[in-house]
Amino acid sequence: MKKYQLLFLMLYLALCVKQSHQWILYQKHNVEKIDEYFLDQKQNVTILKDYELINFVKVTGPESITFDCKGEGSYVGVSDGWILKWHGPKLGWKEFAIPLSIRKRELCDESTNPNLEPICGRPLGLKFNPVTCDLYTGDAYFGLLMIGPNGGIAQTIVSSIERITFNFINGLDIDNRTGVIYFTDSSTIFQRRYGMKNFLPRSTDSSGRLLKYDLYTKTTSVIYTSLMFPNGVALSKNYSFLLVAETIRRKILKFNLGTNKFELEVFVALPRVPDNMKMNHKGEFWVALNAGRLGEIDDDVLDPIGIGIKKRELCNGSTNPNLEPICGRSLGLKFNSVTCDLYIGDAYFDLLRIGPGGITQTLVSSVKGIQFKFINGLDIYSSTGVIYFIDSSTTFQRSWTVEWKRVV
């Protein structure tokens, strides 16, 4: 169990520690508390408050981590292109795999230079196939790769679709029953070396995609487009749906897998940008949030955060406005008299539609690449199918206004 706690509560992308060292953090025990700006109830979230540090010397950027079929590891990809394996406190980190045979050790080893990533590789998403014990990784530059159980040089599984090379492969997860790998291409416009510091924080890029690769048919297909930096990927325990972290919008998206339509809904909105995401043995999801720090970690700061999503227990009966970004806040309601669909203006999850079968679908969450802030009332002109709705503010969210009213 401790290994799974380590897996789910990692800080995957640290932009804020010294260049000479990078740390992986793992949980010693839970502290049920979080940034009061976001939440003030205690039963909902677990964060990293007490943790130990495993040092990385001369490399940075520990990203997604995983454990192998024997429960050994963890395995992690770092800035110089290596995938490393943890052998315990005495032996430490050992080299396990590299993305390609032509990688130049003298140039790449211990590199922290983003401009060398297209040469050295940058492994991001990691997942072992429990059936074959092969390790799959999404490399930001070389595509979807596979590494045998004993490590070594990775084999390229797919690096393009319709003869267009992937630009920024990121997170992944594997359906070991069907042999389908779900993965994200975070952008078709910019590469990782250009975007992480300068472009991404202010980006309105919605060129990201969710894709799947079938190990048996050797085919790749696009599931969904127009995503704003899709990142971590996690399948549900019964394989009925898939969660994707949409980093720029600070949301977790849910894709229902029961049909080929891959119906989309907003699963949860978050206080900070989500990165990687994993499911534990209970079927709960843990999401690593990037704090965006620019300095060293202060021992008194509740940071970094790993959020466990347990929405029903958290939300039912809540009157706390600070929970609204997770639970939602339906404001405008209107049935379409022609289709009998219910349309909702949700202050956080935007314009929604609920069909007679009860499935919620997000219709629109932004305009011209700018995310809605405070969707409110709506009405429908049934004869034309036009929905008129209000965005009450482009500056603040509803939960903030509740606090202002209390103060006034």
Contact (CB, 8 A) for 364 and 351: yes
Q: How far apart are CA 365 and CA 346, in angstroms?
A: 10
Q: Are 377 and 263 in a shared domain?
A: no
Cis geometry, peptide bond prior to residue 74 (ω within 30 degrees of 0):
yes
- Cα–Cα nearest to 268, from 44, 32, 14: 44
Please give the radius of gyration of the chain, using alpha carbons only, rounded to the nearest integer. 21
What SS3 class is residue 124? strand
Q: What is the largest CA-CA distance in the chain?
A: 72
Q: Are 169 and 290 in a shared domain?
A: yes
Q: Does 2 score more than 70 pLDDT? A: no
The tokens describing 296, both together, are: 């060293």
> Which residue stretches of 12-139 are H helix?
105-108, 117-120
Q: Among all chains, which residue has been given the structure tokens 């979230």?
A: 45
Q: Are 270 and 396 in a shared domain?
A: no
Which pLDDT belongs to residue 84?
Answer: 95
- Cα–Cα nearest to 364, from 249, 274, 287: 249
How long a stretch of residues is the chain? Answer: 408
What backbone phi and psi angles, to 5 degrees, belong to 119?
A: -95, -40
What SS3 class is residue 182? strand
Tell whether 68 is covered by a domain.
Answer: yes
Using pLDDT thresholds of 50, 70 and 90, give the confidence band for residue 336: confident
Q: Are 306 and 337 in a shared domain?
A: no
Q: Are 103 and 143 in a shared domain?
A: yes
Average pLDDT rounded to a whole number, residues 232-239: 94
- Cα–Cα nearest to 213, from 180, 258, 244: 180
Tell whether 132 is covered by a domain.
Answer: yes
Using pLDDT thresholds of 50, 70 and 90, give the confidence band for residue 352: confident
- Of 315, 340, 365, which one is at a domain's C-terminal end? 315
Q: Does 12 score more than 50 pLDDT? A: no
- Of 264, 282, 315, which one is at a domain's C-terminal end? 315
Q: Does 322 score more than 60 pLDDT? A: yes
Average pLDDT rounded to a whole number, residues 196-213: 78
Cis geometry, peptide bond prior to residue 304 (ω within 30 degrees of 0):
yes
Spatial neighbors of 387 by CB under 8 A, at least 6 apart, are 343, 351, 363, 378, 379, 380, 381
Q: Are 80 and 13 in a shared domain?
A: yes
Average pLDDT rounded to a whole number, residues 210-226: 95
Spell 167-177 as b/e; 16+ CB within 10 A means b: bbbbbbbbbbe
CATH of the domain at 106: 2.120.10.30
pLDDT single digits (tens) 290-314: 765 444 444 443 455 555 555 566 6
Q: How far apart are CA 118 and CA 121, in angstroms?
A: 6
- Of 272, 292, 315, which one is at a domain's C-terminal end? 315
Q: How far apart are CA 9 and CA 127, in angstroms?
A: 16
Tell whether 79 is covered by a domain.
Answer: yes
Domain residue limits at 305: 2-315
What backbone phi and psi angles, to 5 degrees, belong to 389?
A: -145, 165
Q: Are 120 and 237 in a shared domain?
A: yes
Tell whether 321 is covered by a domain.
Answer: no
> Which residue stretches of 187-310 are H helix?
192-194
Average pLDDT rounded to a whole number, residues 7-36: 34
Q: Does 35 score more than 80 pLDDT? A: no
Q: Are 279 and 334 in a shared domain?
A: no
Q: How far apart are CA 110 and CA 356, in angstroms?
A: 57
Q: How far apart are CA 322 and CA 138, in angstroms?
A: 35
pLDDT single digits (tens) 44-102: 444 444 556 777 777 788 888 899 999 998 899 999 999 999 998 888 899 999 998 88
Q: How many domains does the chain have?
A: 2
Q: Are 351 and 208 in a shared domain?
A: no
Strand partners, 53: 25
Q: Strands, E, within 32-130: which ranges?
A: 47-57, 65-67, 73-77, 83-86, 93-98, 123-128
The tokens describing 292, both together, are: 């965006």
- Cα–Cα nearest to 308, from 9, 6, 57: 9
Average pLDDT rounded to a whole number, residues 18-33: 36
What backbone phi and psi angles, to 5 degrees, belong to 115?
A: -70, -15
Q: Among all chains, which residue has been given the structure tokens 């202002």?
A: 404
Tell whether 147 is covered by a domain.
Answer: yes
Q: Are 373 and 307 in a shared domain?
A: no
- Cα–Cα nearest to 288, from 312, 268, 308, 302: 308
Q: Does 227 score more than 70 pLDDT? A: yes
Tell whether 322 is covered by a domain.
Answer: no
Tell whether 320 is covered by a domain.
Answer: no
Q: Are 239 and 262 in a shared domain?
A: yes
Q: How far apart are CA 185 and CA 210, in angstroms?
A: 6
Mean pLDDT of the chain: 78
Q: Report how many helices (DSSP H) and strands (DSSP E) the chain contains, helices first.
A: 7, 32
Which amino acid appears at position 11 of this protein?
L
Q: Are 257 and 366 in a shared domain?
A: no
Tell whether 323 is covered by a domain.
Answer: no
